[in-house]
């Protein structure tokens, strides 16, 4: 039997089936006839060449992936080569005077086809870690500092590492709060808004992790702080929607507990 269906699929047509999906240790998801290890086999077929270095050598940490929409052999690339391309492109953007990567970001998209990598995929994870290692320092501009942390956190959550994501977020929230405190103390008030806006973004990520872990006592004060910042700055539509969704979720969770 090459296909399966769940007993709970009452709303799905009776002739609709799906293959088993198995996530390998390297993060790839494959389809198999049955959900048993015996259907996974090694092969002596050589891997394709990397489109950057033109080699096909692989290691456990640096294997060849195809996570984008590039045609033909152009889509095959070593994780390390992918990382090097992204770092080079980001440096060029920053050296040209751009404070962020509005419209295109080499740490979440293929530089050739511009497809956004799926969160938690091998490509997304290696790029998120490379960005974090390069741009998470508190001396970086607020946008890069915040993005580096948020991007890694979202990929960690996708891979099920909620505890690691929580620790990382709380670390960077503390760092930005200290930066704001120092700016205020030194009288550099014009730099505070940019930091407070990025703080609100990290706090929103915190709330979503707290919600997933059922941490209501941490969720409420964090939402209150976001709302105070929202009164000072005009948030974009998508962020406003996310805030409203979290406020609604918190109220619902409290209601479920009270009942």
β-partners of residue 78 are 64
- Distance (Å, whole) CA 132 – CA 115: 21
Give pTM, 2 decimals.
0.74
pLDDT at 1 over 50: no
CA gap 15, 4 in Å, rounded: 10
| Cβ contacts of 172 within 8 Å, gap of 6 or more | 136, 145, 146, 149, 202
- What percent of the chain has a predicted confidence (pLDDT) above 70? 77
The DSSP line for 218-234 is HHHHHHHHHHHHHHHS-
What does the pLDDT look like over 9-63, one tens digit per residue?
A: 666 666 665 656 666 666 666 666 555 666 556 666 777 899 999 999 988 889 8
Tell me: the pLDDT tens digits for 159-185?
889 999 999 999 999 999 999 999 999
Residue 84 clears pLDDT 90, i.e. is over it: yes
52, 80 Cβ separation under 8 angstroms: no
Alpha-carbon span 50 to 236, nearest angstrom? 40
pLDDT of residue 146: 85
Q: How confident is the model at residue 222 (pLDDT cuts 50, 70, 90)?
A: very high
- Calculate the average pLDDT of the chain: 82
E strand residue ranges, the chain: 20-23, 29-32, 64-65, 77-78
Give the C-alpha separation, 173 to 140, whole Å: 14
pLDDT at 228 over 60: yes
123-164: pLDDT as tens digits: 999 999 999 999 877 666 778 888 899 999 999 998 889 999
Predicted local distance difference test score (pLDDT) of residue 144: 82
């Amino acid at each position: 039997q090459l296909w399966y269906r769940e007993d709970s699929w009452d709303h799905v047509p009776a002739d609709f089936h799906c293959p088993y999906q198995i996530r390998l240790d390297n993060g790839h998801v494959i389809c198999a006839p049955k959900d048993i290890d015996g259907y996974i086999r090694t092969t002596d077929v050589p891997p394709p060449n990397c489109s950057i270095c033109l080699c096909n050598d692989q290691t456990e940490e640096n294997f060849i992936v195809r996570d984008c929409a590039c045609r033909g052999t152009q889509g095959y690339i070593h994780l390390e080569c992918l990382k090097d391309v992204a770092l080079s492109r980001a440096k060029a953007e920053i050296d040209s005077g751009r404070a962020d990567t509005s419209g295109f970001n080499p740490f979440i998209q293929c530089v050739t086809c511009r497809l956004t990598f799926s969160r938690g995929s091998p490509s997304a994870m290696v790029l998120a870690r490379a960005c974090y290692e390069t741009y998470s320092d508190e001396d970086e501009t607020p946008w890069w500092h915040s993005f580096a942390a948020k991007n890694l956190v979202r990929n960690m959550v996708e891979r099920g590492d909620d505890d690691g994501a929580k620790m990382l977020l709380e670390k960077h929230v503390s760092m930005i709060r200290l930066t704001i405190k120092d700016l205020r103390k030194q009288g550099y008030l014009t730099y505070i808004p940019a930091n407070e806006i990025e703080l609100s973004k990290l706090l929103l990520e915190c709330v979503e992790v707290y919600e997933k872990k059922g941490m209501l006592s941490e969720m409420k004060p964090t939402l209150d702080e976001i709302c105070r910042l929202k009164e000072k700055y005009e948030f974009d539509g998508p962020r406003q929607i996310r805030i409203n969704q979290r406020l609604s979720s918190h109220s619902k969770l409290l209601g479920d507990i009270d009942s």
